Every structure is written in C-alpha cells, then in structure tokens.
Structure 1
Amino acid sequence: MPNLPSAYLRTHSCYGFLESLLSPQALVDLAVQHHVPALGLTDHCYLSGAVEFYEACKAAGIKPIFGLEIDFIYQGFSGLLTLIARDQSGWSNLSRLSSHLLVQNTPVDMALLDSHQDGLIAVMGDNRGILRDLLLSSPSSQNLPARFIDEIKHIFPENHYLEIQRFVNGPLKNEALLLDLARSHHLPLLATQNIFYAMPAEEARYRTLTAIRHLSVLQGLSPQQLPPGSAHFPAPEDFAHRYQDLPETFENLKNLVDSVNLDLPIGKTHFPEFPTQNGKSQADHLRESAYAGAKRIYKAVTPEIKTRLDYELEIITGMGYEPIFLIVEDILDHARQLGIPTSSRGSAASSLVAHCLDITSPDPLALNLYFERFLNPARKKPPDIDTDIDSSRRDEVIKYVFDAYGNDRVAMVATVNRYRPKSALGDVAKAYGLSPEIVRQLSKRLPSSFGFKRENVVDEDPFRSLLQEHTIPMLKNILNDARALLDMPRHLSVHPGGIVIAPFPITDLVPLVHSNTLGINHAQYDLEGIEKLGLVKIDLLGIRGLTVLGEVADRIRSWHLSEYKDGLEVLAKIPSEDDATAQMLCSAKTIGCFQIESPGMRSTLREIQARSVKDIMAALALYRPGPLRGGLRDAFVRRFRGEEEVTDIHESLSSLLGETLGVILYQEQVLRIAHELGGLSLAEADILRRAMSHFDPGGVMVTLQRKFVQNAQERRNVPPETAERIWEMMAAFAGYGFPKAHAASYARLGWNSAWCKTHYPAEFMAAVLGFGGGYYSQRVYLMEARRLGLSLHGPHINHSNHRFRVAYPKGQPKLYMGLNQVRDLTQRTISAILQKRPFNSLEDFLLRVDPQKREARHLLMCGALEGLVSIPKGLARIEHKGHTGQMQLFNPMTQEDDWTDEQKFEAQRQILGVSLDSNPLELMADRIHSLGAITTLEAESRVGENVLVAGMRQTWRRTRTRSSQMMAYLSLEDLEGSLLVLITPKVYQRYYQDLQEAGPFLVRGIIEMDTERQQVRLVANNVSLLR
C-alpha cells in the first residue's frame, strides 16, 4: 500500500472570496473525516480565513499550515507563486505581501520577494503558476524557466519545492517538462492538488461560483478559468495512488510539514502606545490628566472623588489599559478643536476617569454608576470606549488617527459581507443568464436579510417554497445553487466604526486591503478576528443625530448667539432644566429629536409626562423588549402617575430600586442588588449580569445563585424563597437590560435636540431636513415644519444653499430647500450657482452658469427661478436657445402667464420628490370638509364616536396576532397632528392593497381611549385612498 499524504497542502477556502465553496471549518471537517493530519490553506491574495482556519484546526487536532497564492511577474510574464509560512517571521512576510497585493494592486516581483523571503517556503509548478506560463509561452532562446528557478533558489536556498499536480483524470500534459526541470535543477517534488469543493458532484456548482467571480455567464467561461481536473477533496488512498511512481513527493511533503512551526498569537493583547513627554510613563500621564480633569469639573477633589479615581486608575493601569484612555482622550480633544460634536455611548460613561478626561459627559457620581459595569479585573477583554461623532465630519477624525499614530500602524476593521437570499439569487441567476424580469419576480418572494446557523439551513430555508413550486430543471439548479451560497463571504467592506492602532507596523500581524470607496486601508479581519489576534479596537461611530445637533448649533450661533466661540459652546451651555422644553417633552412633540421621535417613544414620553433628562433616561429604558414584554413598563407608568402603589418583593429593595419605583430599568440596578443584597463583589455582579444576558456554558449562574441566596439571608435576613424570587426577577430582566450609562448619554442628546427645537425651530428643522431626516420620510418633517408655523420655500438659485438653509429676510425665518434635492442637478452646476449668484434674469443665469439642458428645465419647473421668469416663458426661452431636455410632461411653448397650482405641485413632486408649495391634504381641504371628516386634534373629544379622519401615513408597524394573522398600527397625520390607527386583521386583509400607499387616506372607525397609554386611538373599520 502506498504512503498516505501527511498533508493536503493546497486547499482553498471561501475567504478567497468566490474562489472556493468550502469554509475553513468544512475543510477541517473533511480532514478529520479522511484522517489527514495537516492542512495547508493557500487562498489567492487573501489571508482573511486564517484565524477561523487556525482555530478550527487546533480544535480538531489538525496541524494548520498557512500559505498564500501571490500574483507574480517575471520578465513580462505573469502567473501565481505559492508561499508557505514556516514560522512567525514567515507569517509577517505573508501578511506584508498580501497587503501589497491588495493595497498597491500590483503583482510581486523578484526584488520584492527577495526582501520578504525570511521564514517562507516557495512552491512552484501550479497549473496556473508563473513557471508553467514561462514553460509554455516564453521563447526557448531566453531560457526563462531555468533563470526563474535559479533566482528562486537563490532567494530560498533551502526552502523551495516543485509541486506536481495530478488529478483523477491523470497528470497534466506538461508534467514531463516539469519533471525534467526538477531533475536538472535538483528541485524536491511535492504531491499537491488544489481543493475548491468537497465532492465531485459539486463541480457544476463550482463552475457557477467561478462564473460569478469572473462576471461571466457559464457558457462564457474559458478553460483557463477552471481547474484542469476535479478539484474536490480526495480520499487519501486515491490521492496516494496517483503518485505511486513518485514516492519522494510524499517524503518531501512530510519534510515540509515538519519544518513548519507556526502558531498564531491568539489571546495575546497588543496594546497601542501613547507618546508621552519627558520620559513620563503612560500611567503617570493618565493620573495627571484624570486629576486635572477632576479639578476642572468638580472644582475640588473631595475624598470621595479621590477614592474613586484611585480605585479606577489602579484597575486601568494594572490591566495595561492606560494607552486606550489616553488615545481616546487625544482623539476627542482634536475633534473638539475642529468643532466636531462628539458623545459617548455604552458603559464607558460609568468611569469617572473617562469623565474627567472629557471622554464621556454623564457624571457617574451623580448618577450612581458602577465602574465595574464598564471594567473590572474579572473582565478579560479590553474595554469598549464607544464614541459617537458627527457623521458628516467623521472622516476628518479618522484621518487624524492615521496621521497622528502612523499610517503603517493604523487600520480600519473589516466587515465580512455575506450572501443573503436575494444577493445569492441575483448573482447565480446572472451566471445562468436568467432574464432580470424573472429574477425580480423570484426575488419578491425572498427576504432581503436572513440570519441562521449553517447547520440549520435546511430547517430555515428561504428557497423551500420556490423549489417546491418550480419544476423547470434550470430554475431548480439556480435556486439550489443560490441556497448553497447562503452565508458565504462575498466581499469585504469597512466596519462603520472600528479602528485599530498597533504598537508595531500593523502588517507584521494583520494583512490589509485598500478601500477604493473611502480611500483608506482596512484589515482583512472583522471585529472577532481582530480581537482574537489581540489588537485593541476603538469605535468611532458616525451618527446623524450629532450631525443635526452640530449644524443646529452652528446656525444658532450664526444668527442668534454670536458671542459664543463656536457651536460646541452653544451645546455646552444648553441648560439642564427648561420649562418650555419640558412642555414639549410631555406633549410628545418631539418629531426630529434624537432617539425620542418614534411613535412608541413619543407615546412613552406622553404617558410618563416626561419633563427632564432623567425622565428621558427612563423612557429610553422603558421602550425596550424586556420592560414591554414583562409588563414592567406599564407598572412603572402607573406608579409614575400615582395610579399604583409601589410594592417591593422585600423591604430591602426599596432603597435599591427607589429611583425607578420598585422596577428594574437599568443593568446597573442588577449589579447593585447582587452586590448590596446578595453580597457579591461588583466584579462578580458584572460576571452575573453577562451570564444572565448570554449563554452560560460554565454554569457560573448556578454558583452565584447559591451565593446570592445564602448571603441575602445572612446579610439582610431575606427568606430563601424571597431571595429566589428576587433572583428570578433579575434574571428575567437581564437579557433585555439597558445600561444606565448609555441611557444617560443618549438622554442628554435627546434633551439638547428638544431644547433646540423648542427655542430655535427654524434652525432645527432646517438641519433635520438638510441631513436626510431620521425615523420618518421627508414629507413628515415638512409637515412638522408647517405645524411649527415655519415658512417653507422650494429651491431657489439666489437663496438656496447645497442643503436646506434658514434665512431671515425681514426678521422672520424662511426655510429654503437645498439645491441638492433638484433631480439631475450636478455638483458642478450647484457649485457654479453658489459662486456666481445673485442672478437677475434667466439669461444671466444661463450665460454665467451654463447648465445642462435638463438641469435648466428642472430648475425652472420646480420654481428655482421664481421672481426672475414665469415657468412657461422660461421654458419657451430655453427651447428657443436650444436648452431643451427630454422631459415632456408639460408643453414648453405655452404662452400662458404661469402654471396652475396643480401643475406646480406635480412638477415639484416629480423633480423634488415632494411638494413644498402645497400638501395633498391642503389641496383636498374643501372635499375633506364636505365629507365631514374631523381633524386629529378633535379626536380626544370624540371618544366612543364613529368618525371619519383624513390624513397621510406618517409611519406604520405591521405585526402578527397570536393566531398569526396580519394586523397593523398606523400613525395617521393631518395638518394638525397625528393619530394612532389600529388596523385589525379583518380590515388589514380587506384593504391590504390601499394600505401599501402613503395616502392620503380616509379612515372611518371608532375613537377609543387607551387608558394604559393615556392616548386616544382610532379602531378602523373602513380605509380608502382619497383621490
């Protein structure tokens, strides 16, 4: 019996991106099944699968071998060369070469290879390789194959091999040439085969994947784009049989495997370095900064503050985390110097050190926040200091990080974009040449996103119903191939916030790829891979809410508070108490306000009559799955309104849950109960919180539960059965708990938004509209602006900016829509308008700006030249001058004085997407009145009556009843306000088609009072579109 292979050296994973059907885990499972002791992973250009491959191999007792297929160029010829890492230096060189290929987008040449040879083994002879290309294509007179081999041997004198690839159907036709080269140049031979899929039956599916990768149809694939034989995972006996005449190939393979000694540094943390001055340690620098911040914020460092700071600093420095705090402090300080709004999120606000460094804004002492919720010695992972940044200026902050800490040491984190049902079907269908119309029809039956574990794909199959319906063989093949791609990596993109800083050149450990979209480099690993390799991540997340607040603050300063230095000072001076803002909150008129504008949040604000930052914190915590499902929300609301007496399971809870009326709202309260009642240390309490929130494989909860019950009885005289009830209450809450620190950060932003809207509504709504709104469509925000009494105007070449702007021509605010909303208007034309205005006539505008024909028409038709020329005359002049577009909705040669309101309304709708001159409800006001419809404001006085209400759909939420029938909650909006409409399953089914529209609707039904929510709602029995 021939010797069996000691390894399959040339396997490929799906992390080569569309080059293999096999995940790293699937490769390892096949190795285990066939008793192959070692595996080499040699993806083309990418090392993205290395971490997953390494962990799968180690778990299965398989020796992992890391390799890379590189694009190589030699004397004008190109092809692949395979490199294998022998040790850590070899891994670093693989990482650098992979980064070169994917950042510089140029192949490796001999000089670059020579400078990166340490720790590497060169393997020549792949059927797609550079050596075969030289053998088959180069002039024999130049003797390039021999010269190439000599140079490779010079770079890798002891670490070079020639691979002989044989397939089921026999050796390659040029194998004899390779063997001659091996003998003449004394090259050790290896037995290899590229492996791209598991079984021979998957060859057709692999062809489909190859067509997708090459953006080709199946019939268009060339032989060079496919393996020369079956590329499945062979049985070792079959593989060995192919090489009976070359037994040395297995001996050499074993020698190569034995020479590899490489473990990835999983679990070892690599902290970034913060530069300090005068030889000062990072720990000393952090202490000085923290104490200086404490004096600035609190005026004096009291014993309480000193004790807390010293305690936190001891833990931070003891765990080596001081550079993280210092770097985040530096980044945010730079952002503030640029006038960029920032805010904290998550549990970092629990840290007094973070607060004193101006990393977070909530006061952890005043809010009684536990540092251990954020960081404690039992927590092994580095702390997450998540920072929100004005999304429109986030790139400036990221650029600073790259510049300040070194382009060679900084990278963004990657996101692995995986196939979901619609994307899988779309790509497979293109490879088969299926018509786009059929693809669209099939896609309508599939969910856009689909989460599952791959082992459960059969049980959770989005393609099942389509496969059952279609019997055409090609369609079934398409659907089956698409199903096989589900969850497979498709490509890498940049994570929305994660950035890593290494204490060494980052490619020593992590390979990079360049993002053409953002113009920056990012890692080839996602958050999980980065953490496993020990690099510390910092999150810089762009959020639109801060963009809006920054824009509002700048406009407020510009128009009203010029004595302030910048917009950040305006935001810093917003008072924590304000009667007008409180009135807005309790009346829930918070459309546009950060985190508190959704119908559910507005309902919560109204129910608890929120009037302060603290009340917003409670509302944010209440409107969560846990409190909603467990009835805690309703209990809190009743107690908050004095309708229910506060009752505690045990008297000891009254002091622990007093601020939330006996209801657990925050995760920190779980820690406090576990610590003060159950006698657990704060570190143990946080371990308990995490165990309650996630899967608990180590049985931590059982041990801690016993300790909790025993300590509660001994320390507070709590009966065991009562302690068990308290424990169950904590456990029921923990899975959905909301960090109080996070609530405090976001509640302040919500309050600031509400304050700005209350006192400066024009500036606020202009910013909201200018940056794309938020929870609702633009139409909703325009209606809100009208309700606030603001004067709205369409784009105008003499008054509008790029985005929405506010002007005060006669002391009263006017909102002008931005030029960027005019359909087909280019950035060149917008810039020319802003630079060269004002314009005194149509001819002046055309002469100095020279817009494209369609641009000129669209600007005229949406009213952007109002006051300079009427629309009909302007269109006629453009026609006469040759400025004609393709839009023929209206007759340009008409001689009428101006268009009717209806014509203007329709033109704005088509060109701007909405109409500012009028609202559908305004146009139909007489008809609505004649039908006897009431306004939404009248609803409260009509409880119990059968009424008719007209309005537009603001938003709606579809859901299922317990019997799986579809129903909906619709927020109906008119010129006065909004009203909640309950669409029962019977009504939903009857009027399903009409409900897909945005309105306007006529809804008839009964007004009833929801006593729990303290608001009226309309229970619909008839819905129709108002035409």
Structure 2
Amino acid sequence: MIKFTHLHVHSEYSLLDGLSKISQIIQRTKKFGQKAVALTDHGNMYGAIDFYKKAIKENIKPIIGCEVYVAKKSRFIKEKSDSNHLVLLAKNHQGYQNLMKLTTLAHTEGFYYKPRVDKELLEKYHQGIIATTACQASRVNQLIIGDNPKSAKKELQELEQIFGSGNLYIELQRHHFDQYSKNDQVPKEIKGKLLEIHANELKAEKQLIDFSRELGIPLIATNDAHYIEKEDARAQDAIVCVQTGKLTSEINRLRFIDTPDFYLKSPQEMEQKFQDLPEAITNTGKIADQVDIKISLGQWCFPEIDFPKGKTAKETLKEMAYQGAKKKFTKITKEIKKRIDYELDIIDKKGYSAYFLLFADLVNYCNTAGIYTNTRGSAAGSFVSYCCGITTVDPLRFNLPFERFLNPFRPSPPDIDLDVSDDRRDEVFTYLKDKYGHEKFAQICTFGTMKAKAAIRDIGRVLGMPYSEVDRVAKLVPLGSQGFPMTISRALEITPELSQVEKDDPKIKDLLDLSKKVEGNTRHISVHACALVISPEVLTNFTPLQFEPGGDKKIITQYEMHACEDVGLIKLDVLGIRNLSILANAIKLVKILHKKEIDIHQIPLDDPKTFEMLCNGETFGIFQLASTGMTKYLMELKPEKIDDIMAMVALYRPGPMSFIPEYIKRKHNPKLVKYFDSRMEEFLGTSYGIITYQDDVLYIAIKLAGYTWKEVDKFRKAIGKKIPEEMKKQHAKFVDGCVKGGMTKERAEDLFSQIETFAAYGFNKCVTGDTSVWVN
C-alpha cells in the first residue's frame, strides 16, 4: 500500500496563487520515491492533461482533482463572500467526467467573483468522486471556528450523504503559525494574526478529530502546497501581490511570506508533523490506492459529417477530389492522378477523410454566403485540398510538398488555417454551432505567461521599486528569436551591461533572482485568436468549459490546444482578417460604382497591372507588402512573376532579410546565380539559388543528405526549435549523409551552418504561396 500521498496541491494554474510548475511537482514526487500525487487547483482543471501525461511518463499515479468553491446556498444567488472551499478528487473515469462537468457549471452557472458549485450540483455529479474538507476556508472549518459545532456536524453528515460512505475524508493541516510568529522578521502587526490563525487551527482540529471518531469519517493529512521548496515562499508571496495589486511591504494584505510552510513536503516531514495521528498519513495512501483514472489520449474523435447515403468518408472525399480536379484541369494527367491517389491513401490510412470533408463544407458555406476566405499554411501543399476547394494554390505548379502538411510518419494531425473576413467571423461560428450543435462547439483557451521582461516589471512593481529603474533593467533583456523567447538567465549570459548591473547593485540582483523564480509562470487565461474545437458528443465529455474572462458570454475550453488535441478533439483554426473585410468592401464598391463583378478566384497570377503597381511602390493597404522597407525592396526588385512576391514575403523577416539584396541582384543579372551544390537547382531555381523557404531546407536534407520524409520531420523540429541533444544528433547525421553523397566534410559543415542560421526564421513556402496569391 502507498503510505503518504500529497492530496492538496496547487500548481501555477491556481493563477497568481500557486507557483509550482507541473513538471516540478512530478519531479519532486519522484525524488521522494512517492508513487502518486494529486493536483487540486482553485476552481479549474487547466493543468489536468499536462499533469496526467507527465505523471504517467514518470510512473507516478496522477490524482486529478480540484479545490472547488461551494456556494453556501444556491449557485444562482449572487452574494459576496458566499463560498467555501472543498477538495474533490476523481476516483475513476466517471469521477473525472463529473469533475469536468462540475467545474464547467461552476464557471457558466455559478460564477460570482469565483466559480461556484452548490450542493445540488454535487448531488447530481458526485459519482466517482472523493471529497475532503479542505483548509480553514471550508464550510466545516468556518462553522467550528465560529462556535457552531452542531451546524459543522450537520454539514459533514450532508457531505457524507452526497458522496457516500467511504468517499468523504476530514482534512487536517498543521502549519505551526505560532512558531513562525516568533520570527523577528515578522512584523508586530502580523504576529497577533498568526497566533489567532493558529488558535483557530487548533480549535478546528480538535473538533474535527472528535467528529471523525463520532461519525466514522476518516482523517487525512495535507499541506496545501502552493510551491515546491520552502525557499520559494517569497516568490509565491510576490505573485499573490501581482494578483491583488499590493506591495510586498504592505501589512494589510493577503500574506503568505510570514508562514513559509506551504511547500511540497517530504513524506518524512509529513509523518513527523502527524506522528500522533498515523492514520491521517496512511489514509492518504488508501485514497491513492483507490484512484484508477484512465484517460484515452491520441485517438481522434471527429464530429459527425454528412455523407451521401451508402457512402463512407473515404469514398465521398475521393469523389469530391476527382470532381474538383475535372473542373480545374482540362485533362486528368497521370501526374495529377498519381498525386491525388497518393494523398488520398495517406489521408485514409491516418483517418482524416472526415476532417477534409468538414473543412470543404465550411469553405463551401463561406463561398455560398459571400464570406471572403483565404486558407493559409502547409495545407497549400495538399492537392486534394486544392481540388476540394479548401485551398486556392496549385501545389504542383509551385512544387509544394504534401508531406510538409501531412507527413505519413508523423502522428500529429493536419492543420488547416482558414482566414475569414473579420466582420463576418461570428457568422461562421454560428454556422458551425447550428450544424454540429451548440454544446459541441467552443473556442480554445490560451494562457498568458510571465516572460522575462514582464516578470521583471511585475516583480519590480510589487517590490515597490521606482518604475524608471525597473524599466531600465527590463530593457536590457534582449528580444528572443522567433519561437525562442529570451530568458533572464540567457540574457545575463549574453548582455554584459545587464550582468554588470546585477553584480554592482544588490537590489537589482534580488529583483532578477526573484523574477527568475516566477518567469514562465501562467499569468492569465484568454481566448485563442483563431483555434476552436467541434466534438462528436457534448464537449464536457472531453474538456471542462468556462466563459471567456471579461464578462463576455463566449464559451471557451479550459484545456489549451495541445491538451484538446491530446483528448481527441480536432482543432480548427478560423482567424478573422481585417484585410479580407476591406477586400470584400472594395469589391462591393466596384460593383456599385462601375457596375463590374469581380471574382477574386479568377484574377490571373500574371496580371501585368498588379506587377506594375508593385514596381511603382503603390503598396498602401496591401497585406504583407505595405511597410516602408518592403515597398523599397519591391521597387528595387521589380517583380514580374508571383514567385518574386512569394520570395519577398518569405525573406522579409529577421535573419533571411539579409539575403534580399543578393536576391535582387541575381534576379536582374542571371550570371550571378550560383548554387552551393548543383543538385539544388532543382528546387532553388525559382529563387535564384538562395535558400528562401523552410521547404528548401527539407529538400536539401532529402536530396543532399539522404534523409527520408520520416527522418526530415525530426530534422525540421530539431533545427527549428534548437533542441540541443537532437541538434547534436542531426548535425552528425546531416554532415555524414552529405559526405556519403559526395560532398566534402568542410562543405557539409558550411551548409549545415547556413541552414542552422536560417531555420529560426524560415517561412513555410505554402504560407507564402497562399499569401502571395491572395495579395495578387
């Protein structure tokens, strides 16, 4: 039997209250040799899937829970301070499902300052759940402290009736507030409060133990952990000040720093603390032994798609693809048939036929409703998408690889990004809700984190430091590169001035040390700019839900996009783009003023007037091309074909931008065109021998270093994300492959260095192709 298990643990997802990262909780548990641990964040399940996955990976049993707020009366009665704490732990899959429903309803029906459930909801969704009486903020504790033991006893009896015998535990916490009150650093005004809290804790504990013996409700010991190490107490206190808008120096505020006891203690510390109540320790292990949660991950759950009677998704998609091809091409060549059949085979084997049909239907609705769209991203590499009307770029014409979109060897799902007129996006959402069910649709949440500069500014503010001083330090932190946010530690390594300031000024060192502890922590939840999910069943079977913060009644998931995908939900990206609305309005005006109908899908890609306009620098209001720098380069380039615009969109970003002058020279003087290796002409011919797109890097690895599409995906991720260990492996593999292909080792090293420099900023050719065709 497991002996002691932490059953009351908060992570960073107890927003600006918990400090611990989930990975830290798991590693600490593993370090102690414990076999299980719980996650019980305040009123939400934001971290549940990340917690589950990381625990399972380390062979730790995950106990998914939540410290809920319970309304004293009904969740529909809005009264301030009308809630108390209760810890709920999912015992099995049914309990996990019920926990998702409870946290959803707490947000969507019971929210008043806090997300609140009530006893009606607990009664309805109690199955598979173990309840514990939480901290001093629980109803039972408050009634005892308020000298009302009869009502406290009644409350316990009601809870036991709701959850059933054996599913309710009385929770004890011992934080020794009296001992900490003796600390000389504790302000005099606080010492009395600590002694009062300690007296209340003792009073409640004595009565709770009596109730346990009288009612037969077992005891458990917890520590209400909010951070990992005792030394983290000051950082946790600081983020509470960020939340409440207070200074750490203030006396009359919510203070944790005076009692640095809310950390993830070792089993030995807990056993020592409760040596007079060994059953309170062993009962935590008994709960852990009871828990058996199995969450199905990585199995896609598509919404129900309408097929013609008697047809499958596979057959319907094949028919749609070939019908579309016949409309787009005068003749179905062997090349076209081979590409369609190749893609359809992969799409079917990976089980994504329904996904393509869903998107085809959505784009068709937008076209029918007159909503302007543009499909971005690697989906432009799919010829099936092109034939089905999902995308507008011919991947055969632009040599766009299907494998960049849907790699046969990669488990991740296809990702189609649909841009729509921003003033009509709500119509698209309404269509999806009406078609698939309002209870099956939600936008996905996203979490804002305290990145380096923000962490310094937040901590500097709560420390009461002058704004100018904090701002000066924050500005010394350089910007990170795309996909690689700068960290304070890294900034200290590469910025001599920042490092010197830290050495010279103890206050700045303290600011940076404290900022490092909160850096990267979750700060707030919001709605993702474009991601949404549609499920085959009610969404609360997959993810808990809530309203978007800020008073809007927009439903969002509590799981971020990776967790949504983990539990099987298919993500759709629908982004509102202002330029599409402008384009739609411009076309309406042309019709009114000039009596002329314009079909943007029929505009030729070699329209001379368009290129003349760009050559003259007339770019005002043109998406991606309107900046002063881009306009200057376009006038120098004098584009004559769509490939030139694509290249400019790809190159005009940090890193590759330095190649633009050379690109322009080579365009105007073909004699300057050269290739690092003659084999590159096949795929770098249209960009005059310059590595321009992410796709170029993939082709180099395949054609010159002998990679397969399965291997090249790892190569792309390693160099793009700069994963040190993987980079080392890929470096050796790439150089070795090039040498085997006839290149000298020195040249191979040089080529890898070029790719490494380019990779952090390189742009997908499919994205630039879609964008450029749309611009044209």
Alignment TM-score > 0.5, same fold = yes
Identify the residue that residue 191 of structure 1 maps to in structure 2. Answer: 221
| Mapping of residues 6-85 of structure 1, within 5 Å | 6-75=4-73, 78-85=83-90
Identify the residue that residue 412 of structure 1 maps to in structure 2. Answer: 443
* Paired letter, 1:95: M
Shift of 1:677: 6.3
Measured in 2, the distance between the counterparts of 1:201 and 1:662 equals 56
426 and 283 in structure 1: CA distance in 2 versus 1, 3 angstrom threshold = same
Shift of 1:350: 1.0
| Mapping of residues 815-964 of structure 1, within 5 Å | none
Assess if the C-alpha contact under 8 Å between 1:4 and 1:237 holds in 2. Answer: no
Identify the residue that residue 116 of structure 1 maps to in structure 2. Answer: 125
Assess if the C-alpha contact under 8 Å between 2:6 and 2:284 holds in 1. Answer: no
251 and 661 in structure 1: CA distance in 2 versus 1, 3 angstrom threshold = closer
Q: How large is the RMSD of aligned CA atoms in angstroms?
A: 3.6
- For normalisation by structure 1, the TM-score amounts to 0.65
* Paired letter, 1:321: Y
463 and 42 in structure 1: CA distance in 2 versus 1, 3 angstrom threshold = farther
| SS of structure 1 residue aligned to 2:671 | coil
Measured in 2, the distance between the counterparts of 1:380 and 1:74 equals 47
139 and 367 in structure 1: CA distance in 2 versus 1, 3 angstrom threshold = same
Identify the residue that residue 749 of structure 1 maps to in structure 2. Answer: 774
* Paired letter, 1:413: I
Assess if the C-alpha contact under 8 Å between 2:130 and 2:163 holds in 1. Answer: no
256 and 291 in structure 1: CA distance in 2 versus 1, 3 angstrom threshold = same
2:94 aligns with one of 74, 77, 89 = 89
445 and 693 in structure 1: CA distance in 2 versus 1, 3 angstrom threshold = closer
2:566 aligns with one of 524, 532, 557 = 532
2:339 aligns with one of 308, 319, 334 = 308
* Paired letter, 1:741: C
Measured in 2, the distance between the counterparts of 1:535 and 1:71 equals 28
Identify the residue that residue 104 of structure 1 maps to in structure 2. Answer: 109
| SS of structure 1 residue aligned to 2:84 | strand
Identify the residue that residue 133 of structure 1 maps to in structure 2. Answer: 142
2:667 aligns with one of 640, 648, 657 = 640
Shift of 1:194: 0.7
| SS of structure 1 residue aligned to 2:398 | coil
95 and 279 in structure 1: CA distance in 2 versus 1, 3 angstrom threshold = farther
Shift of 1:267: 3.7
1:372 aligns with one of 403, 413, 420 = 403
Identify the residue that residue 586 of structure 2 maps to in structure 1. Answer: 552
Assess if the C-alpha contact under 8 Å between 1:86 and 1:121 holds in 2. Answer: yes
| Mapping of residues 771-786 of structure 1, within 5 Å | none
Identify the residue that residue 972 of structure 1 maps to in structure 2. Answer: none
* Paired letter, 1:112: L
Shift of 1:254: 1.3
Assess if the C-alpha contact under 8 Å between 1:452 and 1:460 holds in 2. Answer: no
Identify the residue that residue 162 of structure 1 maps to in structure 2. Answer: 170
Assess if the C-alpha contact under 8 Å between 2:237 and 2:256 holds in 1. Answer: no
| Mapping of residues 459-470 of structure 1, within 5 Å | none
136 and 168 in structure 1: CA distance in 2 versus 1, 3 angstrom threshold = closer
Measured in 2, the distance between the counterparts of 1:222 and 1:605 equals 58
Identify the residue that residue 345 of structure 1 maps to in structure 2. Answer: 376
737 and 185 in structure 1: CA distance in 2 versus 1, 3 angstrom threshold = same
Measured in 2, the distance between the counterparts of 1:17 and 1:358 equals 43
| Mapping of residues 64-463 of structure 1, within 5 Å | 64-75=62-73, 78-106=83-111, 107-137=116-146, 143=151, 145-146=153-154, 148-169=156-177, 172-215=202-245, 219=250, 221=252, 230-420=261-451, 423-424=454-455, 434=464, 438-439=466-467, 442-443=470-471, 445-447=473-475, 451-453=485-487
| SS of structure 2 residue aligned to 1:493 | strand
611 and 226 in structure 1: CA distance in 2 versus 1, 3 angstrom threshold = same
Assess if the C-alpha contact under 8 Å between 2:122 and 2:162 holds in 1. Answer: no
Shift of 1:467: 6.6
| SS of structure 2 residue aligned to 1:69 | strand
* Paired letter, 1:559: L
Shift of 1:320: 0.7
Measured in 2, the distance between the counterparts of 1:622 and 1:226 equals 51
1:621 aligns with one of 650, 653, 666 = 650
Assess if the C-alpha contact under 8 Å between 2:69 and 2:117 holds in 1. Answer: yes
Shift of 1:672: 4.6
Identify the residue that residue 186 of structure 2 maps to in structure 1. Answer: none
621 and 234 in structure 1: CA distance in 2 versus 1, 3 angstrom threshold = closer
- Higher Cα Rg, which structure: 1
* Paired letter, 1:168: H
* Paired letter, 2:446: T
Matched, 1:498 2:531: yes
Assess if the C-alpha contact under 8 Å between 2:734 and 2:752 holds in 1. Answer: no
Measured in 1, the distance between the counterparts of 2:593 and 2:130 equals 68
| SS of structure 2 residue aligned to 1:618 | helix
Identify the residue that residue 925 of structure 1 maps to in structure 2. Answer: none
Measured in 2, the distance between the counterparts of 1:199 and 1:724 equals 45
Measured in 2, the distance between the counterparts of 1:658 and 1:174 equals 79
Assess if the C-alpha contact under 8 Å between 2:622 and 2:775 holds in 1. Answer: yes
Identify the residue that residue 764 of structure 2 maps to in structure 1. Answer: 739
Higher RCO (CA 8 Å, separation ≥ 6 residues):
2
Identify the residue that residue 662 of structure 1 maps to in structure 2. Answer: 689
Assess if the C-alpha contact under 8 Å between 1:272 and 1:502 holds in 2. Answer: yes
* Paired letter, 1:165: Q
Measured in 2, the distance between the counterparts of 1:642 and 1:471 equals 59
* Paired letter, 2:369: L
Measured in 2, the distance between the counterparts of 1:539 and 1:405 equals 16
| SS of structure 1 residue aligned to 2:174 | strand
Assess if the C-alpha contact under 8 Å between 2:376 and 2:771 holds in 1. Answer: yes
| 227-236 or 737-746, which deviates more | 227-236
Measured in 2, the distance between the counterparts of 1:113 and 1:463 equals 53
Report Cα offsets for 1:907-965 as digits up to 9, x if no partner: xxxxxxxxxxxxxxxxxxxxxxxxxxxxxxxxxxxxxxxxxxxxxxxxxxxxxxxxxxx
* Paired letter, 2:122: L
Assess if the C-alpha contact under 8 Å between 1:289 and 1:357 holds in 2. Answer: yes
Shift of 1:634: 4.0
* Paired letter, 1:88: H
460 and 510 in structure 1: CA distance in 2 versus 1, 3 angstrom threshold = farther
Measured in 1, the distance between the counterparts of 2:746 and 2:451 equals 48
Shift of 1:732: 6.1
Measured in 2, the distance between the counterparts of 1:161 and 1:397 equals 48
Assess if the C-alpha contact under 8 Å between 1:512 and 1:523 holds in 2. Answer: yes
Assess if the C-alpha contact under 8 Å between 2:127 and 2:163 holds in 1. Answer: no
Measured in 1, the distance between the counterparts of 2:134 and 2:654 equals 59
Q: Give the gaps of 5 or more residues in structure 2.
A: 75-81, 178-197
Shift of 1:129: 0.9
Assess if the C-alpha contact under 8 Å between 1:514 and 1:520 holds in 2. Answer: yes
Assess if the C-alpha contact under 8 Å between 1:210 and 1:226 holds in 2. Answer: no
228 and 637 in structure 1: CA distance in 2 versus 1, 3 angstrom threshold = closer
- For normalisation by structure 2, the TM-score amounts to 0.84
* Paired letter, 1:509: F
Shift of 1:105: 3.5
Assess if the C-alpha contact under 8 Å between 2:493 and 2:499 holds in 1. Answer: no
Identify the residue that residue 634 of structure 2 maps to in structure 1. Answer: 605
312 and 94 in structure 1: CA distance in 2 versus 1, 3 angstrom threshold = same
313 and 514 in structure 1: CA distance in 2 versus 1, 3 angstrom threshold = same
Report Cα offsets for 1:195-240 as digits up to 9, x if no partner: 1234445545544433443455664646799998832333433321
Shift of 1:539: 1.3
Identify the residue that residue 509 of structure 1 maps to in structure 2. Answer: 542
Measured in 1, the distance between the counterparts of 2:275 and 2:554 equals 51
Q: Larger helix proportion, structure 1 or 2? A: 2
Shift of 1:86: 1.5
Assess if the C-alpha contact under 8 Å between 2:705 and 2:734 holds in 1. Answer: no
Assess if the C-alpha contact under 8 Å between 1:425 and 1:439 holds in 2. Answer: no
* Paired letter, 2:467: V
